[in-house]
Amino acid sequence: MSIVKIIEVLAESEKSWDDAAKVAVKQASKTIKNIKSIYIENMEAKVDNNKVVKYRINAKISFVLEK
């Protein structure tokens, strides 16, 4: 039986929400092994001078704990 742990992360990108998700997984993978999924809970964007300048996500990343 495997045990799965979930962490909540915040990430942002200047490109897209998709890129923000990739940033979240890339950063988490520096200290966490066996990442299995990412669930995006919330998305928001920062606007400056009527233009979207940052895409932000609040996500949950799940990973399997090593035995």
CATH number at residue 50: 3.30.1660.10
Angstrom distance (rounded) from CA 62 to CA 64? 7
- Tally of domains within the chain: 1
Reported as a pLDDT band with limits 50, 70 and 90, residue 66 is confident
Could you report the per-residue pLDDT of 10-45, keeping only the tens digit for each? Answer: 999 999 999 999 999 999 999 999 999 999 999 999
In DSSP terms, which residues pair with 58 in a beta bridge?
A: 10, 42
Instruction: Provide the b/e sequence for 25-56 (b: ≥16 CB within 10 Å).
Output: beebeeeeeeeeebeeeeeeeeeeeeeeeebe
Reported as a pLDDT band with limits 50, 70 and 90, residue 60 is very high
**Enclosing domain of residue 18:** 4-64
pTM: 0.88
Contact 29, 35 (CB under 8 A): yes
Angstrom distance (rounded) from CA 37 to CA 27? 14
